Structure 1
């Protein structure tokens, strides 16, 4: 039930609703895109524009981009918040919010540095933060079975690497305004934050494979 999501995973619920709502609104409002998209040229030169590193993660290029990211978040974001609460109590909600926001910001920094002199470059999407959520979840439950395209069973850790592999390919080949570079840095941020919060997680991960 919807109320169960709101009560048990309030942070994931707010992120999901806000991202879907703002993305849909922006689809028909180009002015919103201009204000919320990441513009490295401006961010690098004007500290008052740093919030773009967060606002750009609340909008998406089109329905395909939005649905892909939100399906991934739905499968892993709500579950991860529940896992962190189970591990740490109510402060787990704060851990989840922190992981998401920090990953959203840190995953944009390499792009800002790379594109700081490219006035025509813009990007958007929550992919960096969602990669962090995905790879944090994988550290806890790497063998969880998912169904790719709703039909093909696949372990979570394989899904994660396929997801990341696509994003690395897209960062080199796609010209769609989506910040595909952020996937890699978001994934690394998710792994690092989870390791800092739960240093035992590497041993737990290895044990899932009998190591």
Structure 2
């Protein structure tokens, strides 16, 4: 496994999550509590909650999704940016393209992941800023940002999901995912922060459109073309 920004995030998240599972003080100190953010200025919670998880299953699912879709995004965004067909002056027998393309992809991945996780807390914060009992944790919002960035970047790729015995187009999965999360959020009553998943997904879409608006056109063409 290459040591890149994705690998580092995976390792740090797994270590911190496993340690925190056996330490309620760490969970209470660093999980996302909108009330504390607003009334006690605990702004660090916007980021720290991403490195904590409720149980092994929660951690495994998020890290599994992050590993596969994160690698797809890193490969796609790095390779597409430094493409000799686009007249890149850095291209030299594959060497410099690989170097700069990888660096470009990793920088964008880090921004996408951290900012996506932060953006995912906006809706929960607005909803629960005066509720001292609301708490959330996990990298799901940040992972959703990465998943949807990968989907918008390459909407025609096929995703093989654990619970579906056949491949599904990325753009179709994205639509189904958002509809499902919206319906479950409206239904309410569960312990899953569906609003954070939606927020993260929307940020992932927005981020790709900011760095490459043509990807939005390609996504539309993939659906209707």
Q: TM-score, structure 1 length as denominator? A: 0.87
Larger Rg: 2
Aligned with 2:159: secondary structure?
strand
Instruction: Give how far 1:166 is off.
Output: 3.7
Per the alignment, residue 7 of structure 2 pairs with 13
SS at match of 1:175: coil
Considering only aligned residues, what root-mean-square deviation do their CA atoms show, in Å?
A: 1.9
Deviating more after overlay: 145-154 vs 57-66? 145-154
Equivalent pair of 2:122/2:199 in contact (CA under 8 Å)? no
Q: Report how far residue 64 of structure 1 moved.
A: 2.1
User: Tell me, what secondary structure is at the counterpart of 1:154?
Assistant: strand
Aligned runs of 1:9-88 on 2, under 5 Å? Answer: 10-47=4-41, 49-88=42-81
Q: 1:179 matched to which residue of 2?
A: 193
Residue of structure 1 in register with 2:88 after alignment: none
Structure 1 contact 125–179 (Cα < 8 Å) conserved? no
Cα gap change, 1:165 to 1:61, in 2 (>3 Å): farther
The CA distance in 2 between the partners of 1:23 and 1:152, in whole Å, is: 32
CA contact (8 A) 2:171 2:223 kept: no
**3-state SS of the aligned residue for 1:160?**
helix
Summarize the Cα distance change of 1:126–1:51 in structure 2 as closer, same or farther, 3 Å threshold. Answer: same
CA distance in 2, matches of 1:170, 1:35: 28
**1:161/1:206 CA distance change after superposition, 3 Å:** closer
The answer on whether the counterparts of 1:131 and 1:190 sit within 8 Å (CA) in structure 2 is yes
1:92 to 101, 105, 108: 105
Q: Is the 8 A contact 2:10 2:63 kept in 1?
A: yes
Aligned residues: 203
Q: Secondary structure at the match of 1:60?
A: coil
Q: What SS does structure 1 have at the residue aligned with 2:62?
A: helix
SS at match of 2:80: helix
- Change beyond 3 A, Cα 1:163–1:74: farther
How far has the Cα of 1:143 moved from its partner? 2.1
Map of 2:94 onto structure 1 = none
Structure 1 residue 93, shift from structure 2 partner:
1.5
Distance 1:205 1:175 in 2: 32
Residue ranges of structure 2 left out of the alignment (5+ in a row): 82-100
Could you say if the C-alpha distance between residues 66 and 174 of structure 1 is closer, same or farther in structure 2, counting changes exceeding 3 Å?
farther
